[in-house]
């Protein structure tokens, strides 16, 4: 009998894994619909399936900071449209929103498109959603990532709730009105390249339709009852994984964990984690975090939820030794991961700002620092570069956006990777050929930043140097963090180097440090913008190197790709190219 139960359990585990994989691959064709560089080339998008109540079930392996936040966006739309007098949600409707504080968004450039999936008897059974970062939606700076915004209205078009498609008709006139509305704000521009944004929104609608088609095919093959049941099983499994993980860390460390991290402007992020060792519940209390700031690195609550769900998923792969607690089937990111978690986010703090607060940097800067904060409390690894190193440039005719990688933090069993995107971002960098063909710039340097990673028993990864020359006058904007405070080391490892942003003006013939946040006009050929991103922190005391570790380090330094395994967005990109 025991053997029969074991065989049955193993069979169920395999089925859960099978459905998990099926759900996560429903969106594979998404890239073929997208014409614009930021989504098609950089993969700055996410897709997910939600249950009838808006709970996240499964996601394609894309951008972590999107995925935890998308659940809030879907649930808001369900509540909004089902209020009396708003018409409800009908077949042939597709919903769109991006408002961070009111509608579960992350920041305004991330526009979420939501498609309901109906059963044969006209009842909503699931939702399909895609979120893409649109390179320009208006605002006070090209690229819609202004370094010095102080109000949400400075950051571009704001959409609380709108039917992008109604009765199977794309509402181009209505969405155009919303996208050009920022031009009414003094000092702001409307969407600078409206045709591109409209094309990408249509691509999101098409991607959702493709996902819906694949999901309905799965329902025909397996039956609605079985598909719905395994969606619930996957969420339950995620919850059990998180509970087991929290119990393991409470046994190995303590039932109360805490950490404090500073931002470059002097703001403080503070966290106290209280774990119930018996049931695996936990409270993440961010009391003591600084007040809302008159800058743009305020983060709506959905961003903190995303950072937390990402960290919890990572912790499952790094359980403390000797904890005596096993792990269930590894889940994708879904609603179940947060079921054991209670959040305390003080109202009016930078993690729960007012409705009109500027938040464009919260999604790309503060999210990374919240990850630093959580991983520091659990003592699992050194800090990574702590920033998405955001660069935008353009003029009144276009906007371009990219994030630049840096060094990853080291841990007890690994060196930090060099020159990679880390944590809440999982985008690619635009290929040099694509960048130079599509935009009026030349990429003068793209290299690893030597000696920027913190030294240790295991070294932190190296940052990146990226130098760009404009070919005509352009406004270039930088929104970065870790230019003052350095990424922390762990267990005696050294800190990584902080980053640096420089411009070279051909008239003055000198390099000038422009700080972490800057929007400046470069005049064209001969002017240069140089970004040096932070390295990762080291792990363990450097003096404890032995001969084998030194040899390993020499090998790694001569070839930074030793041990590299292709995965994440790059693997997904290649797969899409072969299946397109």
Kindly list the domain boundaries of the chain, sorted by start residue: 15-234, 381-580
The residue with greater pLDDT, 477 or 42, is 477
Dist CA 223 CA 237 (whole Å): 21
**Residue 451 scores a pLDDT above 90:** yes
Residue % of the chain over a pLDDT of 70: 84
Give the bridge partners for 262, in sequence order: 268
H-assigned helices in 104-223: 172-180, 194-222
Strands 528-532, 463-470: pairing kind: antiparallel
**Residue 210 scores a pLDDT above 60:** yes
Q: What is the pTM of this model?
A: 0.86
pLDDT at 494: 97
pLDDT at 33: 56
**Residue 62 scores a pLDDT above 70:** no
Contact 158, 99 (CB under 8 A): yes
Q: Which long-range contacts (CB under 8 A, 24 or more apart) does 25-28 make?
A: 25/60, 26/58, 26/60, 26/128, 26/211, 26/214, 26/215, 26/218, 27/60, 27/130, 27/207, 27/210, 27/211, 28/60, 28/575, 28/576, 28/579
Contact 268, 289 (CB under 8 A): yes
pLDDT at 326: 56
Contact 386, 409 (CB under 8 A): no
Q: Which fold has domain 15-234?
A: Beta-Lactamase (3.30.450)
> For 25-29, 142-146, 471-475, which range has the lowest pLDDT when averaged over its residues?
25-29
Dist CA 159 CA 95 (whole Å): 11
**Position 64 confidence tier, pLDDT thresholds 50, 70, 90:** confident
User: Which of helix, strand or coil describes residue 512?
Assistant: strand
What does pLDDT average to over the chain? 86
**Tens-place pLDDT, residues 385-407:** 999 999 999 998 888 999 999 99
**Position 555 confidence tier, pLDDT thresholds 50, 70, 90:** very low
Dist CA 229 CA 16 (whole Å): 10
pLDDT at 59: 75
Q: Would you tell me how many other CB atoms lie within 10 Å of the CB of residue 221?
A: 10
The mean per-residue pLDDT over the stretch 248-270 comes to: 94
pLDDT at 348: 95
Give, in degrees to the nearest 5, the angle at Cα 293 between 287 and 296.
115
**Tens-place pLDDT, residues 480-508:** 999 999 999 999 999 999 999 999 999 88
**Residue 565 scores a pLDDT above 50:** no
The mean per-residue pLDDT over the stretch 332-337 comes to: 77
**Residue 448 scores a pLDDT above 60:** yes
pLDDT at 547: 44
pLDDT at 433: 93
pLDDT at 562: 41
pLDDT at 138: 93
**Residue 577 scores a pLDDT above 50:** no
The mean per-residue pLDDT over the stretch 410-417 comes to: 95
> 332, 249, 253: which is closest to 19 by C-alpha?
332
The residue with greater pLDDT, 71 or 88, is 88
pLDDT at 60: 66
pLDDT at 324: 62
Residue-wise burial string across 189-215, b where 16 or more C-beta atoms lie within 10 A, e elsewhere? bbbbbbebbbebbbbbbbbbebbbebb
121: left (phi over 0), alpha (psi -120 to 50) or beta: alpha
pLDDT at 330: 61
**Position 7 confidence tier, pLDDT thresholds 50, 70, 90:** very low
Q: Would you tell me how many other CB atoms lie within 10 Å of the CB of residue 413?
A: 9
Name the CA dihedral angle for 327, 330, 336, 339, rounded to a multiple of 10 degrees.
Answer: 30
Residue with tokens 């119930």: 276
Contact 97, 160 (CB under 8 A): yes
Dist CA 266 CA 310 (whole Å): 26
The residue with greater pLDDT, 547 or 412, is 412
> For 4-8, 77-81, 243-247, 513-517, which range has the lowest pLDDT when averaged over its residues?
4-8
> For 38-52, 383-397, 554-568, which range has the lowest pLDDT when averaged over its residues?
554-568
Contact 344, 285 (CB under 8 A): yes
**Residue 37 scores a pLDDT above 70:** no
**Position 13 confidence tier, pLDDT thresholds 50, 70, 90:** very low
The residue with greater pLDDT, 426 or 114, is 114
**Position 66 confidence tier, pLDDT thresholds 50, 70, 90:** confident
The mean per-residue pLDDT over the stretch 71-92 comes to: 92
Dist CA 400 CA 374 (whole Å): 32
**Position 135 confidence tier, pLDDT thresholds 50, 70, 90:** confident
Q: Would you tell me how many other CB atoms lie within 10 Å of the CB of residue 85?
A: 5
424: tokens are: 């809440």
Dist CA 343 CA 286 (whole Å): 8
Contact 409, 383 (CB under 8 A): yes
pLDDT at 568: 46
Give the dihedral sign, CA 202/199/133/360: negative
The mean per-residue pLDDT over the stretch 457-461 comes to: 96
Cα-to-chain-centroid distance, residue 447? 24
Dist CA 279 CA 247 (whole Å): 8
**Residue 317 scores a pLDDT above 90:** no
**Position 229 confidence tier, pLDDT thresholds 50, 70, 90:** confident
The mean per-residue pLDDT over the stretch 139-158 comes to: 93
Q: Would you tell me how many other CB atoms lie within 10 Å of the CB of residue 551?
A: 10
H-assigned helices in 338-450: 367-378, 432-438
């Amino acid at each position: 009998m025991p053997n029969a139960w074991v065989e049955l359990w193993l069979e169920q585990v395999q089925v859960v894994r099978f459905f998990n994989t099926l759900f996560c691959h429903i969106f594979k064709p998404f890239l073929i619909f997208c014409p614009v560089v930021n989504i098609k080339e950089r993969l700055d998008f996410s897709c997910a399936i939600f249950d009838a109540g808006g709970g996240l079930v499964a996601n394609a392996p894309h951008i972590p900071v999107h995925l935890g936040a998308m659940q809030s966006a879907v649930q808001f739309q369900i509540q909004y449209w089902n209020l009396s007098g708003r018409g409800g949600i009908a077949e042939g409707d597709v919903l769109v929103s991006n408002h961070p504080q009111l509608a579960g968004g992350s920041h305004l450039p991330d526009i979420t498109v939501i498609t309901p999936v109906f059963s044969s008897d006209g009842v909503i059974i699931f939702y399909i959603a895609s979120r893409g970062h649109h390179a320009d939606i208006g605002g006070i700076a090209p690229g819609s990532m202004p370094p010095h915004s102080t109000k949400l209205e400075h950051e571009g078009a704001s959409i609380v709730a709108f039917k992008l498609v109604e009765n199977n008709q794309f509402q181009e006139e209505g969405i155009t009105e919303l996208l050009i509305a920022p031009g009414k704000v003094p000092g702001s521009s409307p969407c600078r390249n409206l045709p591109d944004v409209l094309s990408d929104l249509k691509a999101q609608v098409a991607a959702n339709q493709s996902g819906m088609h694949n999901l309905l095919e799965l329902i025909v093959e397996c039956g609605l009852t079985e598909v719905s049941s395994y969606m619930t099983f996957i969420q339950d499994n995620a919850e059990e994984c998180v509970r087991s993980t929290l119990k393991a860390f409470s046994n190995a460390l303590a039932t109360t964990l805490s950490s404090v991290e500073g931002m470059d402007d002097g703001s403080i992020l503070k966290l106290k984690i209280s774990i119930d060792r018996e049931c695996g519940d936990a409270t993440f209390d961010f009391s003591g975090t600084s007040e809302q700031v008159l800058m743009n690195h305020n983060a709506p609550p959905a961003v903190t939820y995303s950072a937390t769900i990402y960290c919890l998923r990572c912790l499952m792969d790094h359980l403390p030794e000797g904890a005596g607690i096993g792990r269930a089937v590894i889940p994708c990111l879904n609603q179940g991961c947060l079921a054991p978690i209670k959040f305390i986010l003080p109202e009016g703090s930078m993690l729960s700002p007012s409705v009109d607060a500027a938040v464009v940097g919260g999604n790309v800067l503060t999210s990374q620092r919240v990850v630093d904060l959580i991983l520091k409390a659990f003592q699992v690894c050194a800090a990574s570069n702590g920033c998405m190193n955001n660069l935008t440039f353009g003029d009144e005719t276009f906007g371009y956006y990219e994030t630049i990688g840096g060094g990853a933090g080291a841990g007890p069993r690994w060196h930090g990777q060099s020159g990679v995107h880390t944590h809440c971002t999982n985008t690619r960098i635009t290929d040099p050929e694509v960048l130079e063909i599509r935009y009026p710039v030349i990429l003068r340097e793209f290299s690893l930043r030597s000696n920027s990673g913190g030294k240790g028993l295991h070294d932190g990864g190296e940052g990146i140097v990226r130098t760009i020359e404009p070919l005509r006058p352009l406004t270039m904007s930088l929104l970065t963090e870790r230019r003052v405070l350095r990424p922390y080391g762990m267990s005696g490892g050294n800190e990584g180097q902080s980053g640096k942003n420089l411009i070279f003006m051909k008239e003055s013939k000198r390099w000038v440090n422009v700080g972490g946040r800057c929007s400046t006009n470069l005049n064209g050929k001969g002017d240069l913008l140089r970004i040096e991103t932070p390295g990762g922190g080291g792990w363990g005391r450097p003096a404890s190197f032995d001969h084998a570790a030194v040899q390993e380090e020499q090998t790694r330094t001569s070839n930074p790709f030793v041990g590299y395994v292709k995965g994440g967005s790059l693997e997904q990109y290649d797969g899409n190219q072969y299946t397109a």
